[in-house]
């Protein structure tokens, strides 16, 4: 049993009602929530104080062009909000925001997060080509969490529930919509609103089949996709369509640095050095430093990659960049047994230990003369 | 792969305190190490960003060795622990793509360990010779 509220009806309608309820609390100002844009038919986050805008919103949008954690980061970059706002986020957005808060890039105290059972999102480009039909299909598949044609990483996402938000919205595999308080702060808010009921938790079995399917897809990523990039030749052929535009980095919620090394002057060299590199390597691909950019970024942030797939969504040239990062991230995180956005420990690059990882050092035997 | 004539290009990153100190001790004792090893000094192994190591491997180095203070001896207290975590991550990433994380070595060398430094330079050169040229030394990177 947990504290929560039960709604009947459609999940989206329930979330909207719940958000409007939260907005009535004296300590909450406004909401951050996805809204359908009228002109182009895509979706964007809106920060609003108006319940009418919440009425028009789409809490479970079928696409994710901007990763929500970036929105929270932008909002609180200079200062925390004077009072918290409700933020309706997909599970990977919650994880990214939690991860960013560990490195002081999001002020989590400024947000009451609400997250839900996520069926995944369509790649924005395929959605825009066929918006009306996909919108229909998405609505149909929502409650069963069975939507086909979603982002490749959504298919293999095993953290697809809202359990890491302040409020978790459950609807998959059950008849009603259960909104459950997952933090002390959330419980206090419900009590303040006089709405705290004891609610039964969903039986894990209700979503077991979805979890199994996702786990299988993850295995395929770790075997089949891994095989496609298992040598330098194969990796470079996968990166052959990369134009080194750095879009993938600009949209990544985890890449927060104001100036990125890979945009910096240290990679802009005088012409004779380009020539020197070219003669050393038999030629020089332009734009240069493509492989360096990807491998470097993996070294810098793969421990915190939440496998949201936003990078791949923004890539103009169909580079499977999010799958590359997810694949690498699975392996680098395993060194520290760390799961970004879920673990309460600091990110492994912020923590050190005297005795560990000896297997990565080279032993020395002084037998030589 | 291994060509008899192949002389690998080896970079050897040494921290300003222990690693470089080790090379001074090696010099004081007239210890020799292969000429293809290019030592370069960084303030601390913790200041050696992975991007520099990767850049070396992509732009022509066949291997990169890193030596700094033993655990507990770092002049910045935690720089070498930082380096070890970074190198562990880098090796995993290189291995994922069959680039061979074994082209990067981490071995602690104290100021007085001149012999260990010279031995490491020699041993690492032999090790890279067996592996052959870096698979990243190509035009399309
Ligand atoms: S690297 Fe890609 S998948 Fe990973 S957090 Fe960034 S945008 Fe998401
Ligand atoms: S992977 Fe795609 S988005 Fe990233 S730099 Fe290359 S072309 Fe641009």
**B90 within some domain:** yes
Q: What is the pLDDT of residue A367?
A: 56
**Ligand 1: distance of its center to the CA of B68 in Å?**
33
Calpha distance A317→A238 (Å, rounded)? 11
Task: Look at ligand 2, atom 2, and give the residue with the nearest C-alpha.
Answer: A315
**B136 within some domain:** no
Contact between chains at A281 and B60 (C-beta distance less than 8 A): yes
**Ligand 2: distance of its center to the CA of B94 in Å?**
20
A301 CA closest ligand 1 atom index: 1
Asked if the C-beta of A357 comes within 8 angstroms of chain B's C-beta atoms, the answer is yes
Residue A150: Cβ within 10 Å count = 23
**B138 within some domain:** no
Is ligand 2 within 6 A of the CB of residue A319?
A: yes
DSSP-based three-state secondary structure for B22: helix
Residue whose pair of structure tokens reads 């986050």 in the numeric block: A45
Distance of CA A43 to the CA centre of its chain: 16
Calpha distance A271→A277 (Å, rounded)? 10
**B49 within some domain:** yes
Task: Look at ligand 1, atom 6, and give the residue with the nearest C-alpha.
Answer: A252
Structure tokens at B71: 């655990």
Band (pLDDT 50/70/90 cuts) for residue A369 is very low
Calpha distance A111→A107 (Å, rounded)? 8
Is ligand 2 within 6 A of the CB of residue A244?
A: yes
pLDDT tens-digit profile of A185-209?
999 999 999 998 999 999 999 999 9
Chain A residues inside the 8 Å CB shell of B138: 232, 236, 281-282
Task: Look at ligand 2, atom 7, and give the residue with the nearest C-alpha.
Answer: A242
Asked whether the ipTM of the predicted complex exceeds the cut of 0.85, the reply is: yes
**B21 within some domain:** yes
Average confidence score pLDDT of chain A:
95
pLDDT tens-digit profile of A250-279?
999 999 998 999 999 999 999 999 999 999
Q: A166 and A113 in contact (C-beta within 8 Å)?
A: yes
Contact between chains at A281 and B59 (C-beta distance less than 8 A): yes
- Residue A366: closest CA among chain B residues belongs to which residue? B116
Q: Give the residue-averaged pLDDT of A288-307.
A: 97
pLDDT tens-digit profile of A19-28?
999 999 999 9
Asked if the C-beta of B72 comes within 8 angstroms of chain A's C-beta atoms, the answer is yes
Q: What is the pLDDT of residue A320?
A: 98
Q: Where are the domains of chain A?
A: 2-215, 227-352
Checking if the pLDDT of B16 tops 70, the result is: yes
pLDDT tens-digit profile of A82-129?
999 999 999 999 999 999 999 999 999 999 999 999 999 999 999 999
CA atoms within 13 A on the CB side of A297: 28
Asked if the C-beta of B55 comes within 8 angstroms of chain A's C-beta atoms, the answer is yes
Band (pLDDT 50/70/90 cuts) for residue A57 is very high
Nearest listed ligand to the Cα of residue A65: 1
Cross-chain CB nearest to B60 (options A280, A300, A366): A280
DSSP state of A220: H
Structure tokens at B47: 């200041």
Nearest to A321 by CA among A183, A151, A184, A190: A151
DSSP state of A202: P
With vertex at residue B43, the alpha carbon angle to CA B42 and CA B44, rounded to the nearest 5 degrees, is: 90
Task: Look at ligand 1, atom 8, and give the residue with the nearest C-alpha.
Answer: A308
CATH number for the domain spanning B99: value is 3.40.50
Chain A residues inside the 8 Å CB shell of B89: 299, 302-303, 332, 335
CA atoms within 13 A on the CB side of A39: 1
Q: What values do phi and psi take at A171, rounded to 5? A: -145, -20
Cross-chain CB nearest to A290 (options B107, B108, B141): B141
| Cβ neighbours for A280, distance < 8 A, ≥ 6 positions apart | B59, B60, B137
DSSP-based three-state secondary structure for B11: strand
Conformational region of residue A112, where left means phi above 0, alpha means psi within -120 to 50, and beta covers everything else: beta
Q: What values do phi and psi take at B58, rounded to 5? A: -80, -30
Residue B136 C-alpha, separation from nearest chain A C-alpha, in angstroms: 7
Q: What values do phi and psi take at A335, rounded to 5? A: -55, -40
Q: Give the residue-averaged pLDDT of B87-100.
A: 97
With vertex at residue A332, the alpha carbon angle to CA A331 and CA A335, rounded to the nearest 5 degrees, is: 95
Checking if the pLDDT of B4 tops 80, the result is: no
Residue A334 C-alpha, separation from nearest chain B C-alpha, in angstroms: 10
Where helices occur in A77-231 by DSSP H, the ranges are: 91-102, 124-129, 131-142, 152-155, 184-192, 208-220, 226-228
Is ligand 2 within 6 A of the CB of residue A245?
A: yes
Q: What is the pLDDT of residue B101?
A: 96
Contact between chains at A361 and B107 (C-beta distance less than 8 A): yes
Residue A248 C-alpha, separation from nearest chain B C-alpha, in angstroms: 18
Residue B93 C-alpha, separation from nearest chain A C-alpha, in angstroms: 6
Structure tokens at B121: 């330079």
- Residue B57: closest CA among chain A residues belongs to which residue? A292
**B87 within some domain:** yes
Calpha distance A55→A53 (Å, rounded)? 5
Segments forming the whole domain that contains residue B110: 3-131
Cis geometry, peptide bond prior to residue A287 (ω within 30 degrees of 0): yes
Instruction: Give how many domains chain B has, as a whole number.
Output: 1
Chain B residues inside the 8 Å CB shell of A331: 92-93, 95-96
**B141 within some domain:** no
**Type and span of the H or E element at A19:** helix A11-23
The CA-to-CA distance between both ends of chain B, in Å, stands at 21
**B7 within some domain:** yes
Structure tokens at A204: 């894990």
pTM: 0.95
Calpha distance A87→A71 (Å, rounded)? 10
């Amino acid at each position: 049993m947990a504290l929560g509220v039960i709604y009947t009806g459609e999940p989206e309608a329930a979330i909207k009602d719940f958000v409007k309820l939260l907005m009535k609390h004296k300590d909450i100002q406004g909401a951050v929530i996805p809204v359908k844009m009228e002109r182009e038919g895509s979706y964007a986050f809106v920060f609003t104080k108006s319940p009418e805008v919440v009425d028009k919103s789409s809490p479970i949008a079928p696409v994710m062009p901007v990763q929500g954690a970036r929105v929270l980061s932008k909002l609180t970059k200079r200062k925390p909000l004077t009072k918290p706002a409700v933020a309706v986020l997909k599970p990977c957005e919650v994880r990214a925001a939690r991860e960013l808060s560990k490195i002081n890039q999001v002020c989590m105290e400024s947000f009451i997060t609400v997250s839900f059972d996520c069926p995944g999102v369509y790649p924005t480009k395929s959605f825009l080509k066929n918006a009306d039909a996909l919108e229909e299909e998405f609505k149909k598949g929502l409650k069963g969490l069975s939507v086909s044609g979603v982002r490749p990483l959504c298919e293999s996402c095993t953290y697809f529930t809202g359990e890491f938000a302040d409020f978790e919205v459950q609807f998959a595999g059950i008849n009603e919509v259960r909104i459950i308080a997952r933090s002390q702060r959330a419980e206090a808010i419900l009590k303040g609103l006089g709405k705290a009921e004891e609610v039964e938790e969903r039986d894990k079995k209700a979503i077991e089949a979805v979890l199994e399917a996702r786990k299988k897809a993850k295995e395929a990523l770790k075997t089949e996709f891994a095989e496609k990039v298992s040598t330098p030749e194969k990796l470079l052929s996968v990166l052959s369509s990369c134009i080194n535009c750095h879009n993938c980095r600009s949209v990544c919620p985890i890449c927060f640095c104001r100036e990125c090394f890979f945009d910096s002057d240290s990679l802009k060299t005088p012409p004779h050095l380009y020539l020197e590199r070219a003669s050393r390597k038999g030629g020089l691909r332009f734009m240069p430093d493509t492989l360096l950019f990807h491998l470097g970024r993996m070294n810098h942030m793969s421990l915190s990659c939440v496998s949201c797939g936003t990078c791949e969504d923004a890539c103009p040239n169909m580079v499977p960049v999010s799958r590359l990062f997810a694949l690498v991230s699975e392996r680098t995180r395993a060194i520290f047994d760390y799961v970004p956005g879920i673990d309460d420990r600091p990110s492994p690059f912020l923590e050190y230990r005297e005795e560990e990882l000896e297997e990565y050092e080279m032993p020395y035997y002084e037998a030589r003369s | 792969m291994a060509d008899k004539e192949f002389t690998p290009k080896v970079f050897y990153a040494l921290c300003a305190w222990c690693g470089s100190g080790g090379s001074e001790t090696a010099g004081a004792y007239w210890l020799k190490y292969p000429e293809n090893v290019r030592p370069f000094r960084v303030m601390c192994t913790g200041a050696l960003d992975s991007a520099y190591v990767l850049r070396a491997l992509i732009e022509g180095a066949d291997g990169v060795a890193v030596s700094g203070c033993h655990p507990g001896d770092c002049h910045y207290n935690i720089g070498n622990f930082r380096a070890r975590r970074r190198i562990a991550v880098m090796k995993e990433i290189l291995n994922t793509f069959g680039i061979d994380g074994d082209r990067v070595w981490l071995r602690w060398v104290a100021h007085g360990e001149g012999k260990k430094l010279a031995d490491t330079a020699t041993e690492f050169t032999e090790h890279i010779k067996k592996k052959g040229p870096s698979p990243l030394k190509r035009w399309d990177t």
